[in-house]
Amino acid sequence: MKNIIADRCSLIDASGIRKVFALAAKLDDPVNFSIGQPDFDIPSQLKQAAIDAIRGNINSYSQTAGDELLKEKIAAKTAADTGWDDPKVLVTSGVSGGLLTLFMAIINPGDEVIIPDPYFVIYKHVINMLGGKCVFVDSYPDFELPIDGIEKAITKKTKLIVANSPCNPTGMVYCSKTTKRLAEVARKHDLLVMSDEIYDKFSYDQPCESIAKHYENTIILNGFSKAYAMTGWRLGYAVVHDSNKEIIEQMMKIQQYTFVCAPTPFQQAAIAAMDHDISEHVDQYKQKRDLIYDGLKGKFEMVKPAGAFYAFVKAPGGNATEFVKKAINNSLLIIPGNVFSEKNTHFRISYATTNDEIARGIEILNSIAE
């Protein structure tokens, strides 16, 4: 039989995170530092809102753009955070669905997208599948947003700058001075910025400020998976300033022919989530962050993460793949840095697990560090 697989499939590999996640099922009681999934459950009030919606027969398609009340709440939150007068909202099937529809809406073959390295895995692969070109800008060793490097990387083909704060995989949170500087660069060159803010509630040492507060040509992507543990419910959203409403209109058109709409009963739970306080969980995760950092800093080179629930740690010997193999042989699951980076010097820890498991993992890591 002749080749039936599309050429674009050769541009991506199976997720390295999912490979390790699948491996976890084959090991006997491993410490799992691999996947970014909250270890707390969906709050009972939000579960009940979804149950009530299902039992109340709110199970049909919603409008493609999402439930009107949910959109109003998202727009109100965005207006309060950014000062925008009339934000335009699209409810998406997770932030991943938002990323796909956004990139499909704005990226042509040959367009360049500037991405700080390390980066979230999906960016690279979707851009490549669409024929775009990823332009990576090194942020090692401190993982601060490399503003000067970003500006130097801009060419006539640049279409978009990607920002992710709090950042997966580094845990970096960009300060107000940094977001203002990025806004200045983007404005100077008349470029769009995509701000991935899915971890915005998990910021431990300083407020997490969106670049959208300083720059109207920003597309905000956010969602409910991390803050409310709704990972399997697939709910996210995209927001733009009114002056960029065409972006939302084109994303919505693409969503009509792909995802159709976000899951309808879960949108009702998202409405309830907009008013739900998760500060207790954030405090718990700050403690987990401190456990990881204090437990490893003596034997590992690492930047103290300021948000999300990840640490990006330098591998002893400088080869993350080899160190990860060693960790797996000791029943510890971590992710090599080349899943998130053009380098392979670091590994990612997700500390979204119990404190007891964190203690076990720290003990294993310290024991194999030498």
pLDDT tens, 165-210? Answer: 999 999 999 999 999 999 999 999 999 999 999 999 999 998 899 9
User: Is 147:181 a contact under the CB 8 Å cutoff?
Assistant: yes
Query: What gap in Å lies between CA 196 and CA 223, rounded to an integer?
Result: 10
Which residue in 187, 139, 125 sits closest to 167, CA to CA?
139
Quick one: pLDDT at residue 153?
98
Tokens of 357: 């498991």
> Residue 16: is its pLDDT beyond 60?
no
Phi-psi group of 136: left, alpha or beta (phi > 0 → left; psi -120 to 50 → alpha; rest → beta): beta
Instruction: Determine the average pLDDT of the residues in 356-367.
Output: 97
User: Is 287:14 a contact under the CB 8 Å cutoff?
Assistant: no
Which residue in 224, 200, 223, 225 sits closest to 211, CA to CA?
200
Domain boundaries, the chain: 7-42+278-368, 58-273
Can you say whether the dihedral through the CA atoms of 171, 172, 175, 178 is positive or negative? negative
DSSP string, 195-225: EE-TTTT-B-SS----GGGT-SSEEEEEEST
User: CA angle at residue 303 from 198 to 14, to 5 degrees?
Assistant: 50
User: Is 263:234 a contact under the CB 8 Å cutoff?
Assistant: yes
> Residue 19: is its pLDDT beyond 70?
no
> Residue 15: is its pLDDT beyond 60?
no
Query: What gap in Å lies between CA 305 and CA 32, rounded to an integer?
Result: 19
> Residue 135: is its pLDDT beyond 70?
yes
pTM beyond 0.85: the answer is yes
Q: Select 7-42+278-368's CATH number: 3.90.1150.10, 2.60.40.730, 2.40.50.1070, 3.40.50.620.
A: 3.90.1150.10
Instruction: Output the CATH code of domain 58-273.
Output: 3.40.640.10
The tens digit of pLDDT for each residue in 117-133 reads: 999 999 999 999 999 99
| Percent share of the chain, pLDDT over 90 | 90
Quick one: pLDDT at residue 257?
97
Residues in a beta bridge with 335: 348
Query: What gap in Å lies between CA 281 and CA 228, rounded to an integer?
Result: 9
